[in-house]
Structure 1
């Protein structure tokens, strides 16, 4: 149910308030909006009268947000940003075929980006905007239609479509493997190991699956696969890397299996999206395409 109209101020009042709140100055807001100072002051006063709350404290020639004003400014700023984003998206594709997609950095760079040209050529009415997100977020507070998610099949307020499983491989440079004489799983206990902060127990799981006893596992920490793989190529250690993301490095010989013992990851890849967007045509088209493309990948 929509709010009563008296609680829906006009855009001109809101933009005047937001500009003054952000700049901390009626003069600066007026300059930014190409209005007179008195016009901005009148609009802010009209907004305060409409909602019945004082938003600024007026002190001589200066203004300062009240506590209520600070909270309101944050909400209004985000609302204006989303309106602006929606308008830009519509202008870029008047038919409303824009899909705002959140991606995981390495998945997006290594797997998705090289294939997007094919998708867009096949579906010329769709525009895709990509943003990076490393962890789940609230779809209600972000103008994103869907997200690539790796983890458990849980995302509050969203639906999940299964995309693929994943295998990881202990990988290093060929020079590193030769220098350390690695031949058996237990040999990895005596070499530097590279860890991902998002998968803190991966090496423990790998050693357990391969029957290797250990007290503790230490090593360098990385927040993304891309940097971990480059560190492995550079000879800093052995990293557990998704096999589907390092195919080129394996083909070129930049990376090799330290020990040829791949491990099935405990978690999975999903496409997450808010329930109310499930039937949005660009999302439906993209969902069907990415499921087909990833079928059988691991």
Structure 2
């Protein structure tokens, strides 16, 4: 449905309002936009007249968002961010072959980035912009074409392909392995155990899987695989890690297998994309490349 022109404010007016709403100051908004205070005030007034809704309460030398203004600012901020991102992407790659890809930090740093040169060589016309984030990605509020995430493969409003299973194994430093001489699962209870914030019950699952009795499992808590792996390499404890994300550390022996007892978790790594991006040519190329690359992960 075509929106009547009277409901489409100018970009200048929207930018002035968003900056003033975010900073809480016409002066700060003017400095940010490189405009005069009167120019910013004029744009906001024009916007209020066009919408026929007051967006700010004016109190002496200060401004305060009305309830309507607060809701409107939140909505248009997302749109302005999308416009800005689209403009930057187009400038970076005028041919339009850009993919905004969200990825989990350790997956991106340790596995994806080292392999991206192969993709870029095969697809020199495609530019990939990476965004790292631990929390689930919302395609409705972010300018993203796809996301690599851990889970069960269900995400409303999206399609996905399975990339690889998630198999975790106890790893530690060579010194810790020598100190404790791990021989059976029960031996790991003698050592400090390191935990990942997003999977707080992973050790309980592993101990139960290996028939090791326990009351509670305590230890240091980390928010990312990388920091948990670094802590294990530093001798702070034993961490349950996916081997494919720590290939370099295993190769140089800063991490060693504490006990060869891998466990398949309930989730896996998937590539998700919004349904309306399913036929986007650069994304089709990335999907096929990722599927081929991940086929070798054990």
TM more than 0.5: yes
SS of corresponding position for 2:235: coil
Aligned to 1:143: 143
Gapped runs of 5+ residues in structure 1? none
SS of corresponding position for 2:261: coil
After superposition, residues 24-39 of structure 1 pair within 5 angstroms as: 24-39=24-39
Deviation at 1:204, TM superposition (A): 1.7
What's the TM-score, normalizing by structure 1? 0.94
User: Which of 243-252 and 130-139 deviates more?
Assistant: 243-252
Aligned mates of 1:74, 1:249 — CA distance in 2: 44
Q: Deviations over 1:157-185 (max 9, x none)?
A: 11111111122111111211221232111
Deviation at 1:36, TM superposition (A): 4.4
Aligned mates of 1:226, 1:27 — CA distance in 2: 43
Deviation at 1:34, TM superposition (A): 4.4
Aligned to 1:250: 250
Aligned to 2:202: 202
User: Which of 226-235 and 26-35 deviates more?
Assistant: 26-35
SS of corresponding position for 1:205: helix
Aligned to 2:113: 113
Aligned mates of 2:171, 2:138 — CA distance in 1: 35
Q: Deviations over 1:194-249 (max 9, x none)?
A: 11111222212222222222222221111111111111111111111101122222
Q: Deviations over 1:130-168 (max 9, x none)?
A: 011112122011101111111111212111111111221
After superposition, residues 161-180 of structure 1 pair within 5 angstroms as: 161-180=161-180
Q: Deviations over 1:85-122 (max 9, x none)?
A: 11010111111111000011111111100011111111
SS of corresponding position for 1:128: strand
Deviation at 1:189, TM superposition (A): 1.4
User: Which of 70-79 and 18-27 deviates more?
Assistant: 18-27
Aligned mates of 2:9, 2:221 — CA distance in 1: 49
Q: CA RMSD in A?
A: 1.7
- CA change 1:98–1:65 in 2 (3 A) is same
What's the TM-score, normalizing by structure 2? 0.94
Aligned to 2:280: 280
- CA change 1:176–1:34 in 2 (3 A) is closer
SS of corresponding position for 1:219: coil
SS of corresponding position for 1:195: strand
- CA change 1:62–1:295 in 2 (3 A) is same
The size of the alignment, in residue pairs, is 298
- CA change 1:295–1:69 in 2 (3 A) is same
Gapped runs of 5+ residues in structure 2? none
Aligned mates of 1:219, 1:33 — CA distance in 2: 49
